[in-house]
Structures are given as structure tokens and as C-alpha cells.
Amino acid sequence: MTDMDGRFLGLLLASRYAVALTGAGISVESGIPDFRSDDGVWAKFDPYEYGHIDSFRADPGKVWKLLLEMRTLVESASPNQAHYALGELERRGVLKAIITQNVDGLHQKGGASNVIEFHGSFRTMHCESCRKSYASSEVSLAKLPPRCRCGGPIRPDVVLFGEGIPDDAYSRAFEAASRCDLMIVAGTSASVAPASDLPMVAKRAGASIVEINPNASDLSPELCDLRIIETAGEAFTHIMKVFSSIHTEVKN
């Protein structure tokens, strides 16, 4: 474990209300490319042509070409060490909430339950016309776009460009940010508002900010108390080995 990992562990053990903010980078080790990377979906599909709400309303079948590729990608992925570690920290009562910008559901597969899905999820869908809700398993994708009984096009409950963050996710995320004394920012460029505002809210409330990211982000050096230049999987593999041994000793 590096000195940086050790400092992070100290902050984690001292915290009373830790919150994680995660982005696409945390799922790269699960085989899901960052959408903005050279091999991501935005390299194949123009985001405003295929990912905007106006595009869906104009031609839902066309936008479903993108949605189907995204859905297939996330459904085939499995959690990595970072997802499992965050799930374990929540189970032990250290981590109070995970705010994720991802729509892959890997935090839940990794054992977490208090997950705030800031940009929605592929697990559920709704009719764009009558707003009827569906479980994804109920919706046949044999013909695109899938249609509701009312005739309207059905779509996943993911946030498209041009749409706002769901009210419940928005309020829960900002409440968690304002309450936390430690925010772990893992695998996000922190460049997309309003999620990028969450670390600033936490900092103003007195929280320590730890960033875990192998690449440079838009988080300012003044905002971060600690930067770990590793992937989330690498960092949490080191940290959880020591964390688990400490908790085992305390329990015994």
C-alpha cells in the first residue's frame, strides 16, 4: 500500500459520514469503455444526433440503435474490485451513500444498496407518451422502438441530453453531499454539471475530498485534500486488505 493509500485509509477510518461519487472510470475495469474515450459509444454515435431527447422524440427507432448497444454493454459487465469494496464499506456502515453517474447497475451487483443513480438506469423503462413504467425484462426489443399499449415509444429510464436530473436523485445526492465529512470521488472527470457541483457542496460543508483517478480531472488542487493516481480497482484492492484486517482485529 502506498503512502497515499495509507492517508486515504486514515481519512476513511476517521469519517462518520462518508459518501462516494463515481463516474465512468470506475467501470472501465469491468470492460465498459468511458463513453467519451476513443473506443466509447460517442466515437460511433454523435451524442446530439443519437443521445438527445429531441432526437428520441423525432425518431425513437434511430436513438434505440444507441440505447441497445449501451444496454447490451452494461448487461454483459460484472462488478470489479472497486464496486465490491464500496459495497463492503457500505455493509460495514462506513459508507453511507454512493452517488453514481453510471447507468450500469454495477454498484448494486457489487453489494451496495443505497445507490443514488444520478443519470438513471437501464433496469427500468417508461412510455414517453403515457409515462407507464416497465421493468426492462417486460419489454420486448424484437422490434425497435418498443411500443406501449397506448402506442407510444418505450425508452430506458436513463437521462438523455437535454433532460434534467430526476428530482429524487438530485435532492438525495445534494443532501448526501451537504451531510458528508468525507467524499470519495472515483473515476469521474468532474466536468459534467450538476454532478460536478457535488464535491464543491461537500467541501463547503467541511468535508475532506479524496480523488481516485489515474488521469487528470477538472477537480482543482485546492478542492482535493488527497489525490490517488491509480485506478479505483487498484486503490481499493490495497486499501481493503488493510481495512479488513483492522476491522477483524477490532471485532476479535
Nearest to 18 by CA among 179, 155, 143: 179
- Which triple of cell numbers denotes residue 38? 476513443
Based on the residue annotation, tell me whether 83 is a catalytic residue of this protein: no
| The Cα angle at residue 93 between residues 245 and 22, in degrees rounded to 5 | 95
**Which element (helix H / strand E) includes 48?**
helix 47-50
Instruction: State how far Cα 225 lies from the chain centre.
Output: 22
- Which triple of cell numbers denotes residue 249? 482485529
- Alpha helices by DSSP H, listed for 153-196, are 167-179
What are the backbone dihedrals phi and psi of residue 59, each rounded to the nearest 5 degrees, phi first?
A: -155, 80
Which residue is catalytic, options 119, 126, 238, 247?
A: 119
- 8-28 burial code (b ≥16 CB/10 A, e <16): bbebbeebeebbbbbbbbbbb
How many Å apart are CA 242 and CA 184, to the nearest integer? 18
Within the chain, strands assigned E span 18-22, 95-100, 115-117, 120-127, 133-135, 154-158, 182-186, 208-212, 226-228
Catalytic amino acids? Answer: 119
